[in-house]
Chains A and B, each alone.
Chain A
């Protein structure tokens, strides 16, 4: 009886031994990191967003559009969190954008091409400030770019 119970135990040991050897052949292929991970997660995105907002407030081509937001700390927080969530969610992070759609948020504002371009310029300046590589910048702008039609001229 004892001999019979030893055989499966021996087989299990051999199986585990070979399984362990297989692991040593090399690590399992990891999935490519998402843009969110390459950007550095929510803390890094928050730093870029803060720099972007500071750029916008100092930019007199568009800062009048944000007068009410700057004057009200609650609205500042709402805009900041929405921007972080939008970038985080769009780049594959664990966030959910909870704000209005771009069309809802910008209807009636008559935002011009020049204002939109100034805003993008302020974002690129923030990304450059933190030395975000060109590939990540391009990927991020490709995610945000299609929103232009819902923002400009509405």
Chain B
């Protein structure tokens, strides 16, 4: 029993210390709705056409920013997840007779972390959960009276 309590105490301390070290302090930016960035190859024949598309898209619900660059021919939209890139493509196609396609950027060269960044970001939450669970288990053990189990 002592060994179990010691292990649980150790797990609780390690998990809560890890959570305290990894957790991020509060910032007002956390309250903002997340955005997605999507680039479209709009093949505009004239820059004015591209700028007009960017201006129209800027007014759509869910689009937080739009930008057209005549040098690249790309229209980039910052939008919330309430609209999908496919929806935006359809809406752009209505506005222009030119082909519209989503720009896929080439994979950057070099090695990348095999663990997705989103998974790493959940680590503090898991540590806090594990810390609370082991602390609760420790409390239950402490409350329980030593002796033979009832089924013996």
Contacts and interface: CB of A to CB of B under 8 A. Distances in A.
Contacts of B81: 73
A77 B33 CA distance: 9
Nearest to B57: A54
Interface in B113-132: 116-118, 121
B80 to A, nearest CB: 10
Given A51-B65, A54-B37, A88 B29 contact: yes
Contacts of A77: 34-35
A145 interface: no
Contact of B72 (A50, A59, A85): A59
Given A54-B76, A64-B105, A64-B108, A76 B28 contact: no
A100 interface: no
Contact of A70 (B24, B34, B37, B117): B37
Interface in B1-56: 24-25, 27-30, 32, 34-39
Given A51-B67, A64-B106, A73-B34, A95 B29 contact: yes
B8 to A, nearest CB: 31
B116 A74 contact: yes
Interface residues on A, range: 35 or more
A41 to B, nearest CB: 8
Given A81-B29, A84-B32, A96-B27, A47 B106 contact: no
B28 A58 contact: no
Nearest to B71: A60
Contacts of B30: 81
A98 interface: yes
A58 B67 contact: yes
A12 interface: no
A57 B108 CA distance: 15
A80 interface: yes
B134 interface: no
Interface of A: 42-43, 46-47, 50-51, 53-60, 63-64, 66-78, 80-81, 84-85, 88, 93-96, 98
Interface of B: 24-25, 27-30, 32, 34-39, 64-69, 71-72, 74-78, 81, 105-108, 112, 116-118, 121
Given A53-B35, A70-B39, 8 more contacts: A47-B64, A50-B35, A50-B65, A64-B106, A67-B107, A68-B107, A81-B30, A95-B28
